[in-house]
């Protein structure tokens, strides 16, 4: 469960009592793929049974304050060891190759990027964060790596040596994706949405009444301010991409198959 250079895989998740059922499934899907999971329990009165595992570091809001969703990255501040850090959420079921796929794309950019799945490309000037962006949904198919402005932190990976920050210093809570994007932009780290098949990530629930997205639909004022700050800074240069021969021949075979199917229809 490590990169070739020997770095451990460390995941971070925040959850709350209303997500207990989906969190159990999310934890079960990610835990076999990582060495450690830093689990922020927001306003739990107890430690749920699914969190009682020696690989799980329990972080309670009673001890660390009202970080809410920001708590998924608290482990990055508390664990000084170098690692590959994976942001995950409590309402996603992760495929068995989730960590491996994201790591492969980190390798192809020499670790000088953050990679993920769900993403947005912003269209300045930002009059509205909701309207002035193109969303690459987590369940959509992507054929090629795509440079983006914002990665959904429900599905993101990066080297802690390339990007390290302390969420306790962030002035907002529950603005995690944009705050992460600003940290990456400040650190000169490009953001890449990786290729994947349709529904590679499984959404266990979406747009719950207490979700960040539902809150965003009511007002995107804070997010628009943060997005405006983000687009005001130029994207960092993209490092060289070193896709391997296997990926090249795989793409060539898919193209050949499409040509044959098209020829057969004539």
CA gap 139, 233 in Å, rounded = 29
pLDDT above 90 covers what percent of the chain? 79
Predicted confidence band at 174 (pLDDT cuts at 50, 70, 90)?
confident
pLDDT of residue 240: 80
So where are the chain's domains?
A: 9-264
Averaged pLDDT for residues 196-204? 95
Mean pLDDT score, 116-143? 95
Class of domain 9-264: alpha beta
In the predicted structure, residue 244 carries a pLDDT above the cut 90: no
| pLDDT value, residue 53 | 97
Residue whose C-alpha is closest to residue 122's, from 229, 246, 263: 229
Question: What is the pTM for the complete model shown?
Answer: 0.87
Model confidence at 213, in pLDDT bands (50, 70, 90)? low
pLDDT for 205 equals: 81
pLDDT band at 218 (very low <50, low <70, confident <90, very high): confident
Per-residue pLDDT at 219:
81
- The answer on pLDDT for 134 being more than 50 is yes
pLDDT value for 214: 76
Q: How far is CA 103 from CA 42, 186, 198, in A?
A: 29, 22, 20
Reported as a single tens digit per residue, the pLDDT across 60-97 is 999 999 999 999 999 999 998 999 999 999 999 999 99
Q: How confident is the model at residue 237 (pLDDT cuts 50, 70, 90)?
A: very high
């Amino acid at each position: 469960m490590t990169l070739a250079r020997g770095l451990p895989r460390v995941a971070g998740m925040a959850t709350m009592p209303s997500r207990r059922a989906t969190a159990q499934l999310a934890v079960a899907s990610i835990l076999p793929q990582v060495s450690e999971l830093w689990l922020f329990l927001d306003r739990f009165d107890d430690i749920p049974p699914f969190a009682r595992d020696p690989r799980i570091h329990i972080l309670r809001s009673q001890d660390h304050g009202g970080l809410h969703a920001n708590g998924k990255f608290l482990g990055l501040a508390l664990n000084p060891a170098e690692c590959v850090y994976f942001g995950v959420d409590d309402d996603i079921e992760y495929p068995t190759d989730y960590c491996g796929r994201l790591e492969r794309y980190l390798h192809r950019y020499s670790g000088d990027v953050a990679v993920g799945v769900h993403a947005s490309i912003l269209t300045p000037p930002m009059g509205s964060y909701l309207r002035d962006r193109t969303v690459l949904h987590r369940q959509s198919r992507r054929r090629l790596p795509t440079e983006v402005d914002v990665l959904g932190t429900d599905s993101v990976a990066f080297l802690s040596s390339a990007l390290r920050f302390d969420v306790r210093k962030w002035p907002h809570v529950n603005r995690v994706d944009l705050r992460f994007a600003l940290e990456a932009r400040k650190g000169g780290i490009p953001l890449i949405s990786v290729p994947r098949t349709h529904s590679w990530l499984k959404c266990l629930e979406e747009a719950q009444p207490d979700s960040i997205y539902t809150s965003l639909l009511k007002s995107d004022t804070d997010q628009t301010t943060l997005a405006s700050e983000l687009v005001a800074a130029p994207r960092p240069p993209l490092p060289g991409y070193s896709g391997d021969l296997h990926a090249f021949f795989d793409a060539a075979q898919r193209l050949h198959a499409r040509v044959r199917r098209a020829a057969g229809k004539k």
